Structure 1
Amino acid sequence: MSEEEEMGWRCVNDLVYQSNAKDRNAAYTRLASVYDIHMENVGAVANENLVKVAFEFVKNDESSLMLDVAAGTGKTAKYFKDSGYVGQTDGIDVNAEMLDIAIRTGLYRKTYSQEIVDHSPLPVPDNTYDVAAVVGAFLENHLRTGCIPYIVRALKPGGLMIFNCRITEHNKEYLGKLMGIIDSLIDDSKMELVKKKEICFSRSNSKEDGKPIKGWAFVYRKL
């Protein structure tokens, strides 16, 4: 493993394995200016691979409106733009330093610097968005699984919730809780699965098992 990869994985581990949300947010603040460099060094492809899976289902005209949930530095918006997306995008992220980098890309119509919680709605009107994208944020001490119904509320009927999740031992219990909430929404006829596909999260070998990190890409439709 190269020195750059080693530094990249130290950055990833510093963010992923924090024991609480406060320390996680402090780590993002500390690493915001070098975050994209480190992600490139570990071969991170979670954003672009989710876009590849979901793009064919996304409403793509000038009236389309997307909410980039946990927007980070704006990579998801960039890959959508590079894929030919012509609609508008709003972004929300708890970390002001990361969001400031996203704002400077010029890809966002509006941004919200606010924590996404599991006990109150997002700071956006209900039934507003054609797409809600969540990339790399569904893991322990990041987004709480209980925020999913509020993300769905922000979607128009027929709108898509697209997201990915890491397939790792560390994320196994969290992913089970996440899918339990989604299954309940499906049982209540509030969502339906459009597509599920295994994707690569990072090409570099992780320190958890010495292999590239895999993940699931999901596309769900609000009913």
Structure 2
Amino acid sequence: MSKTDLEAAYALQTPDDSRRLYGDWAKDYDSTFAAKEDYELHLHTARAFAEAGGQGPVLDVGAGTGLCGLALAGHRVKPVDGTDISAEMLEVAKIKGVYRKTFEADLNVGLPVEGAPYAGVVSSGTFTTGHVGPDAIESLMPVAQPGAIFALSIKASHYESAGFAAKFDALSKGAIRDLTLTETKIYGTKAQGHHKDDTALIAVFTKI
């Protein structure tokens, strides 16, 4: 992945922009971005979910090529379903063999899920500038059971300015409890470029 690809991801403005970028990126995302740039956020998100006592069935939101699902499997969390706006990304995710099922969806519109089948929800790298904003968190709530554990990564530099802090304040007034925020590096020691020191906050909480 080139620096231009990453900047393009942060500059996304519409769902169609996301579909085009990630559709083109899907086949070599793991090798040119995740491996080359020592991407580790999915590992931290999956670990935070497991350490909080998270169990399946769990929905991996913004599953992409399945990196977080693979990390969840490493913690013996199952079954895991995956959703993403990019059908091409999900095709790559399926190959990893860790998802019970996958389905395409736009968080800004809602999830095509009936009832509240999930005991957990995770998301790594989706809630950030250019992707989806804090209002989309509410679209996750209906699919989760009461008592479901969430672990959502949010780019730290946008937590206040993009309205995530205000959204969690509002949700804490009756929709969620036990919110914790843990700051972590997005990339490992081999990362290079302008974003190598970027951090994310992993929000862990329980649905009431």
Could you say if the C-alpha distance between residues 217 and 59 of structure 1 is closer, same or farther in structure 2, counting changes exceeding 3 Å? closer
List per-residue Cα deviations over 1:172-202 (Å, max 9, x = no partner). 522xx12212211111x11013432111101
In structure 1, the gaps of 5 or more residues are 1-6
How is 1:43-192 mapped onto 2 (pairs within 5 angstroms)?
43-60=38-55, 64-85=56-77, 87-118=78-109, 121-168=110-157, 173-174=161-162, 177-187=163-173, 189-192=174-177
Asked if the contact 1:46–1:135 (Cα under 8 Å) also holds between the matched residues in 2, the reply is yes
TM-score (norm 1): 0.84
List per-residue Cα deviations over 1:77-98 (Å, max 9, x = no partner). 100111232x201111110100
Equivalent residue in structure 1 for 2:10, among 9, 16, 19: 16
Could you say if the C-alpha distance between residues 99 and 48 of structure 1 is closer, same or farther in structure 2, counting changes exceeding 3 Å? same
Residue 165 of structure 2 aligns to a residue in which SS?
Answer: helix
* Equivalent residue, structure 2, for 1:216: 201
Residue 135 of structure 1 aligns to a residue in which SS?
Answer: strand
Aligned residues: 205
Deviation of the 1:215 alpha carbon: 1.2
List per-residue Cα deviations over 1:13-32 (Å, max 9, x = no partner). 22222343322321111111
**Distance (Å, rounded) in 2 between the aligned partners of 1:166 and 1:144:** 11
The structure, 1 or 2, with the larger RCO (C-alpha pairs under 8 Å, 6+ apart) is: 2
The structure having more radius of gyration, on CA atoms, is 1
List per-residue Cα deviations over 1:139-164 (Å, max 9, x = no partner). 12312322212201111110012111
Asked if the contact 2:45–2:123 (Cα under 8 Å) also holds between the matched residues in 1, the reply is no
In structure 2, the gaps of 5 or more residues are none
Deviation of the 1:167 alpha carbon: 2.2
Asked if the contact 1:132–1:160 (Cα under 8 Å) also holds between the matched residues in 2, the reply is yes
Q: Which moved more, 1:137-146 or 1:101-110?
A: 137-146
Is structure 2 residue 205 aligned with structure 1 residue 201? no
**Distance (Å, rounded) in 2 between the aligned partners of 1:107 and 1:195:** 28
Deviation of the 1:165 alpha carbon: 1.3
Asked if the contact 2:117–2:144 (Cα under 8 Å) also holds between the matched residues in 1, the reply is yes
Identity %: 21
| Corresponding letter in the other structure for 1:57 | A
